[in-house]
Every structure is written in structure tokens, then in C-alpha cells.
Amino acid sequence: MNLNNQDIKIIFNKKYLKRNFNINNSKINSKEVKKGSIFFAIKGKNTDGHFYIKEVLKKKADIVVVRNNFKIPNYNKDKFIKVLSPLKFLNRTAHYVRKKSNGTFIGITGSYGKTTLKSMLQFFLSKYEKTYSSPKSFNNHFGLPLSLSNTPGKSKYNIFELGMSHKGEINNLSKILCPDIGIITNIGPAHLENFNNLKEICFAKAEIMNHIKKNGTVFLNNDDFYFKTLFQIAKKKNLKIISFGSSFNSNIRIIKKIIKNNKNFLRIKVFNKNYNFEINNFNNSFVKNFLITVSILNYLKLDLKKTLQYAKKLPIPAGRGNLLIKTFRGKKISIIDESYNANPISVDNAINNFCLLNTKKEKIVIIGDMLELGSKSKYYHQQLANSLSHKAIKKIYLIGKEVKNTYKKLKQSKNCFLYKNINDFRKKFFEMLHPNSLYLIKGSNSVGLNKLLSEDFK
């Protein structure tokens, strides 16, 4: 991002500006403001950016965008721009930055795995050219335009997540992003509380195709139940379609998983050519995201032989299946950290991957509520009991209100324990830690299991 006076005039429809600007970053968090910042005072659920104007000015923001009815202080008046909606103008700034860029823009949506895929694409694409991606999980109506407005002018590849909880949100985000490439990873029961069924979620995710640039491309999961529905939507929009999966008719597909000399190899057919990639795990979601990544690299005409060099070095993002080694009372404790959010598919994958791990340690599972499932919550938590009942797991700890439905079905057949909340469970957690056990932790963010892991283990 690099905006001068002329750019600011165009974005804000201002004919005259009292001073010169050189804007190189966009912020909505006052703590992150620095010289060269344009700060948008946005009202959120819990706070309002207008409360922090003094702090923003103290940190020498160059421009402060506020609502029309905000009373500007007597000092630094020339830094303020008044608008009807700061959020609307954050969107306009993001769209303007997008139009100025000559890079390739990739938009990722789907029910789970978006952040992991974004990180994977960032890792590989940066080996070829300058690459930028949205930080953390910035994928909503605040995060996407903020990330997009900060796109570096010289980045060749730019990767963004598009999240949603309601119909129409993906449409609005993709309208700002205008991706050259769209990816729909999967369709599953995430945010089901705001939809009647999975088909409605499918159509909501498909909204990304409304604004893929003309002659653009969409990547679709051929293994997904709604593949044919998404394929037909893409066809009607005259988009180029590339399919990935294990299905025989996928353009890019997994042929075989190979374990040789204690190494994991994935054989992938890329149209008519086969490649063997050494990867660092066979986690199902990891493998699928790696397949999508190979699909994108091939589409961009990048040398896949170069990818072979880095595949086994690919790091796993925190909270998405990475192995944590914590020191507790002088002993090493092993934890598979899947604590970043949860829905029925991602929880099932996490359990399956955990049970596939070859270890002599006893396996202990800690699972929190899966939220935002609406009227289907009881059903999916009961289904979770079915997933757990046949697995070689020593003990199961369930935390929350919804998992009581899991507990009722499991308590007769498994060594299972139920806790009301994270505070109720915390003491037990630190009591049971043992070096001869391997722990899996998975749950929706608001349950707080991720915060438990960030505590000081003493």
C-alpha cells in the first residue's frame, strides 16, 4: 500500500486537501497505529474506534477517518476526514488498492481449512515471487478490507480468506476483492445456525464466483457432495474450472500414499503427469490442502520440481494439528494442538488423524463444544459420540454445554468425563498431565481451550 494525495482525493471524493499525505498502512486498531497510518474509526460489537482518537493522534497517524457527527479536537484538524461510514470507506480504500495492483489475487472460501490453506500457499508461492496474505484469520467484513488495503504494491501473489456467517457476506467480500482465482475448499456444517441446511451453505459459498474476474478460474473439490452443484454454477458464469480430489476424473488427484524408509510420500497426478512429493504428515486435511496448493502452483505455471524441495519442510500453523511440547514439572508433555475452532468435519478429521498416529503413549482426547450449529447442534454432538466410541482412546474429556449430548451416549462405553466450562476443567487438566500420554485438544474458540494452551505450564 502506498497512497498519495491524488489517491486520497479519488477515494474520498475530496477536491482539496490542506496537506500532503504519504500513506503506507491502514489500521482499525489504535494500538497498531504508526507514522504513515490511515486510521478508520470503526464501531464494532464491543468497542468504537472513536474512543481512541487521542491515542491515534499521539501515535502520529497521518489520516483519521471519522463519522460525520464526530466532534474533531482543536488540534491536528487537518488530519481528519469526515464520512458517513468509516467502514464503507475502508472498503473503498481496499477496492482502490486492489485495482491499482498488477498482482494475482486468490480468494479462499469453504467451511474449514481456509487459514491452513492460505498459510500453505503463502509458504510455497513465496519461494517463487513476493507473496502477501491476510494475517491470522482476517476474513470478515472488517478483516478482509483491512488486509486488502494493506496489500504491498510489488507483491506478485496475494492470498485472502473469505469467511461468512450469513447469506450475502461472501458476495460482498468477493465484490471488494475481485479475485483472479477462487477456491472453494469444501461444504460442511459450519455456521449452520444461520442456514436451514447444507445446500444453503453451498449457495452462500458459491457467491465467491459472482465476482471472480472475467476469464478467471475457480478450483472445486471433486470429492465434495456439492461438487456438481458448484460445477454447474461455475459453468453458467463461464469460469474456467479445475477440480481436485481423489476421484478418478479430478484434473489434479491423489493417486497413492506411500510410506518408504519412514518417510511419507504423496503421489499426485497433475493432469497427465505424475509427481511424488515427500510430505511431513498424512493428516487428511493437510493432504487435501497440499493437493489444492499443487493445483494452484501448476495453474500459475510454476515449476513443481522446485516444490518438491520444500514440501517436507512445510510448517503446520499453530492450533491446526501442530505438535506442542510443553515442559511441566521438569517433564516433556506432548499435545496435538487442534484448538483453533471446531465444526463436525474438522473435529472428525482431527480425531481420525490423532488415532492414526503411531505411538506407545496412551491417547487422551479433550474436546469442547462445537458452536454455531443451530437446531442441528444436538444431532452433531451425538454423531461425535459415534466417531469416538470405536476409537482406541484411553480417556475422553468433554468441556461445555453442548457436549453433554456426546457424554450421554459415550459414558457407558468409554472412560469419559464431562466439565461445564474451561474454568471447571482447568485444575483437572494440570493434574492429569503426564509424559506417557499424548493429548489431542479440539474445540470452538469461545470454549477457551486455546487460551488454556497459552498458559504458563509450571
pLDDT tens by residue, 277-294: 998 877 788 889 999 999
CATH number assigned to the domain comprising residue 226: 3.40.1190.10
Report field, pTM of the whole predicted structure over 0.85: yes
Same domain? 68 vs 14: yes
pLDDT of residue 452: 87
Q: What is the rounded CA–CA span in Å between residue 238 and residue 280?
A: 38
Element (DSSP H or E) covering residue 248 = none
Please tell me the predicted confidence (pLDDT) of residue 412. 87
Residues 257, 290 within the same domain: yes
> CA angle at residue 109 from 2 to 150, to 5 degrees?
10
Retrieve residue 131's grid coordinates: 507473496
Do residue 392 and residue 448 come from a single domain? yes
Distance CA(148)–CA(175), nearest Å, equals 12
The CATH number for 448's domain is 3.90.190.20
Q: Residue 300: inside a domain, yes or no?
A: yes
Q: Is 250 a domain residue?
A: yes
Same domain, 107 and 221: yes
What one-character DSSP code corresponds to residue 246?
S
pLDDT value of residue 14: 84
Look at residue 96 and tell me if it is in a domain. Answer: no
Strand ranges, E, within 329-387: 331-338, 362-368
Residue 219: inside a domain: yes
Assign 81 to helix, strand or coil: strand
Distance separating alpha carbons of residues 408 and 411, to the nearest angstrom: 6
Residue ranges in the chain modelled with pLDDT below 70: none
What whole-number distance in Å separates Cα of residue 344 and Cα of residue 383?
A: 8
pLDDT per residue as tens digits for the range 142-198: 999 999 999 999 999 999 999 999 999 999 999 999 999 999 999 999 888 889 999
**Of 59, 90, 121, which residue is a domain's last?**
90
**Residues of the domain holding 64:** 5-90
111 and 237 belong to one structural domain: yes
Instruction: Tell me whether residue 389 is in a domain.
Output: yes
Sign of CA dihedral 244, 250, 253, 255: positive
Give the count of domains, the chain. 3
For residues 258 and 337, state if they share a domain. Answer: no
Helix H segments across 73-184? Answer: 86-100, 114-125, 143-149, 169-177
Tracing cell 486498531 back to the chain, one arrives at 29
* pLDDT value, residue 306: 84
Distance from C-alpha of 231 to C-alpha of 228, rounded to nearest angstrom? 5
Residue 95 lies in a domain: no
Based on the fold, state whether residues 186 and 279 are members of the same structural domain: yes
Note the pLDDT of residue 340.
84
Question: Are residues 59 and 135 located together in one domain of the fold?
Answer: no
| 3-class secondary structure, 152 | coil
Question: Are 207 and 171 a contacting pair, CB within 8 Å?
Answer: yes
164 plus 287 within the same structural domain? yes
Asked if residue 435 and residue 355 are part of one domain, the reply reads: yes
Same-domain status, 263 and 353: no
pLDDT at position 309: 85
Q: Which of 313, 332, 352 is the last residue before a domain boundary? A: 313
Distance of alpha carbon 91 from alpha carbon 88, whole angstroms: 5
Last residue of a domain, one of 287, 313, 339: 313
Q: Quick one: pLDDT at residue 69?
A: 95
What is residue 361's three-state secondary structure? Answer: coil
Assigned domain for 137 exists? yes
CATH number at residue 66: 3.40.1390.10
Do 447 and 344 belong to one domain? yes
Do 397 and 417 meet the contact criterion of CB atoms below 8 Å apart? yes
Q: Which residues pair with 4 in a beta bridge?
A: none
- Does residue 401 belong to any structural domain of this protein? yes
